[in-house]
Amino acid sequence: MARTIRSLLIVPLIAAAVPAAAFEFTFPWINREASFEITETLVLDYHDDNLDYGELGPNPYNDNYGDIRNRLNLKLSVEDFSFAARIDTTTFIDAPDDPGIQYLDRYAPEKLNASYHGENFQADLGDFYASFGRAIALRIRKTDELSEDTTLLGGKLRAQLGPVDLTALGGLSNPTNWDGVTEKTIDDPYDLITGLSVAVRPQESLVLRAHGVGLVIDPLEENQRAQGFIETAMLPEYAFVAGGAVEVLGLADLADLYAEFNWMEKELKFPDMPAEDGWAAYFGGNLYLGDLTLTAEFKSYSDYELFSETDSESGKYKPERLDYIRPPTLEPEDMEVTNNHDVTGARLKVDWRPWGGDTLLFASYAGFIAEDQSVANQPEKNRWIYNLQVGAEQFFLRRGRAKVDVGLREEVPDWSGGNHHHLIYLDADVKVPLGVRHSLSVQGFNWWAHKLDALGAFDYLRGEWTLAYSWSPLLTLGVILGYDTEYSQSRDLDIIKDIGGNPVRQVFMAGTVSVNLSSRVVLNLLAGQIRGGPKCVSGACRVFPPFAGVRLETVIRL
């Protein structure tokens, strides 16, 4: 009953906003021009049996239920001032009674922000994002692919005083409380983060930066953390990061150079543990030689992690790790990088546009040595990681494009024993114009992998391919084929079967329809199955459950 009442409250709120949407007006009392914007996303899901596998065997606790998710973004702008709100609602229908963590309906304002963005001064109050250095000192922002959207709830001030750029911020960490991966609720970590950054530009091509970040984990002691959660013992009581960077831009129009160093001190929450020091050094340089571009990057990180963990009140909230920094990995973005905090290595990338025309060739090689995370408390044991990638891109028929790359990634211990991981990967993206308004596209990836870990040695195959027909600007029809044989520990593709003969899906097929009803209204429909498994962005990975069922999404911008 309460759920229905909450739904009823939300509907008039949104419905009331709609007739007033998309208009400009003169703001009363101050006689200023103002505008009101709405972005509305409504998702209806029906989850069929996804034939997935939990920790204890086949998992029935994410099957045969529905959910309705609504995200409403509202924004009022009056000249340089703006006021924004994001209101999220989630309603479950016949959700399974999960003995682990429950499915909880949620109706709440997720983000609120008031801001002033003038020419030389900007102020944010409420929720805001922040980034210092190359995300090595601080990185608070959204990563939609991993369903992450953390902000700081507090205040941020930025001022530009001639060649000096100042940023000061402080606030409580505020992740989006509905987790789009598991559809469970996550609580706030109540961590206090403060920061100060100064950038000076003494010459046109030179920028000097200095920054400091302070973190106090859960100063109000609001959190109940699961004792068994692996990260709990590693949580700091407080942490401090200080660093600086030198940036040389457009050096004779031939090169850009960037160097950054950060030092971190942490006091661990675990009693009687000593303070930990860590550091991170990064160098990146681009050299432009006509049709040839070279990029060289180097990283060396030692004990360099800054993360927290959300509340894990039994049965109610899902504990989730939140990283407050994400230093460059120097590998393709979707790679499963298991250790980016005790690692040293470099990458060299070459882009070549021979004959200055429609053909592009590129290659990169990266090599690292990282502390072996598969063995506890033995920092002298390391792993070598190599990643070689080559590819080509061709533009054709004026608007057509084909891009293919292949790579080899190896991760091997420098001692006898330990885990191995060998991977050959292929990425492809081809778009073929069929006349002025019609086109066909194929896009996807394939992994051939070999693993040696505690379970033994095995091979597996993973990939996802999308074939789509588009009729601009109205319609796209697509078919998605996915496969993943990691659970069967075999390269032999079976539609449904794991190594123990359990019904775990290995082959996934779905159809999609995307319709632009107008330039401001988009409908997306998906029916079938979508591959789950680990998904990584810039060294952060999350394991997604496979999806089976129907999903209808509408996006409206007014």
Residues 84-113 close enough to bind another protein by CB under 8 A = 84, 86, 91, 93-94
User: For residue 295, what are its two tokens?
Assistant: 């990029």
Residues belonging to the chain? 558
Q: What is the DSSP letter of 189?
A: -
Positions in 422-441 near another protein (CB under 8 A)? 429, 431, 433, 436-439
Positions in 396-415 near another protein (CB under 8 A)? 399-401, 403
Among 171, 236, 278, 327, binds another protein (CB under 8 A): 327
Interaction pattern, residues 209-238, with another protein; x per rule: CB under 8 A: ------------------------------
Spatial separation of the C-alpha atoms in residues 315 and 224, rounded to whole Å? 12
Total residues at the site for another protein (CB under 8 A)? Answer: 117
Spatial separation of the C-alpha atoms in residues 160 and 179, rounded to whole Å? 37
Burial track 254-269 (b if 16+ CB lie within 10 A, e otherwise): ebbbbebbbbbebbbb
CB of 22 to another protein, least distance (A): 5
Residue whose CB is less far from another protein, 303 or 553: 553
Residue whose CB is less far from another protein, 40 or 411: 40
Picking from 270, 277, 264, the residue whose alpha carbon sits closest to that of residue 230 is: 270
Positions in 135-174 near another protein (CB under 8 A)? 135-136, 139, 141-144, 160
Residue whose CB is less far from another protein, 275 or 517: 517
515 binds another protein (CB under 8 A): no
Q: What is the DSSP letter of 178?
A: B
Positions in 171-210 near another protein (CB under 8 A)? 201, 205, 207
Neighbours of 249 (CB within 10 A): 15
Residue whose CB is less far from another protein, 256 or 494: 256
Which region, judged by CB under 8 A, interacts with another protein, from 65-73, 218-226, 384-392, 456-464? 65-73
Positions in 41-60 near another protein (CB under 8 A)? 41-42, 44
User: For residue 490, what are its two tokens?
Assistant: 């075999």
Which region, judged by CB under 8 A, interacts with another protein, from 188-196, 348-356, 478-486, 541-549? 348-356
The contacts of residue 531 (CB under 8 Å, 6+ apart) are 462, 464, 482, 483, 484, 508, 546
Positions in 271-300 near another protein (CB under 8 A)? 284-286, 288, 293, 295, 297
538 binds another protein (CB under 8 A): yes
Q: Could you tell me the CA-to-CA distances from 397 to 358, 468, 473 in Å, in that order? A: 10, 18, 19
Pinpoint the alpha helices (H) of 94-212. Answer: none
String of DSSP letters for 277-314? EEEEEEEEEEEEETTEEEEEEEEEEES---EEE----T
Spatial separation of the C-alpha atoms in residues 530 and 176, rounded to whole Å? 24
Spatial separation of the C-alpha atoms in residues 433 and 541, rounded to whole Å? 35
443 binds another protein (CB under 8 A): yes
Which region, judged by CB under 8 A, interacts with another protein, from 234-242, 265-273, 304-312, 521-529? 521-529
Residue whose CB is less far from another protein, 418 or 549: 549
Which region, judged by CB under 8 A, interacts with another protein, from 230-238, 487-495, 511-519, 525-533? 511-519
Residue whose CB is less far from another protein, 224 or 293: 293
Positions in 356-395 near another protein (CB under 8 A)? 360, 362, 395
Spatial separation of the C-alpha atoms in residues 335 and 148, rounded to whole Å? 18
The contacts of residue 27 (CB under 8 Å, 6+ apart) are 33, 34, 78
CB of 50 to another protein, least distance (A): 20
Picking from 235, 281, 234, 286, the residue whose alpha carbon sits closest to that of residue 257 is: 286
Among 47, 71, 409, 551, binds another protein (CB under 8 A): 71
Burial track 345-372 (b if 16+ CB lie within 10 A, e otherwise): bebebbbbbeeeeeebebbbebbbebbb
Residue whose CB is less far from another protein, 171 or 327: 327
Positions in 22-41 near another protein (CB under 8 A)? 22-25, 33-35, 37, 39-41
Positions in 462-491 near another protein (CB under 8 A)? 470-473, 476
Residue whose CB is less far from another protein, 438 or 491: 438
Helix count and strand count (H, E) for the chain: 1, 34
Picking from 156, 133, 426, 118, the residue whose alpha carbon sits closest to that of residue 283 is: 133
CB of 488 to another protein, least distance (A): 29
Residue whose CB is less far from another protein, 208 or 452: 208
Among 83, 100, 117, 550, binds another protein (CB under 8 A): 117
Residue 241 in contact with residue 212, Cβ under 8 Å? yes
How far does CA 130 lie from the centroid of its chain? 15
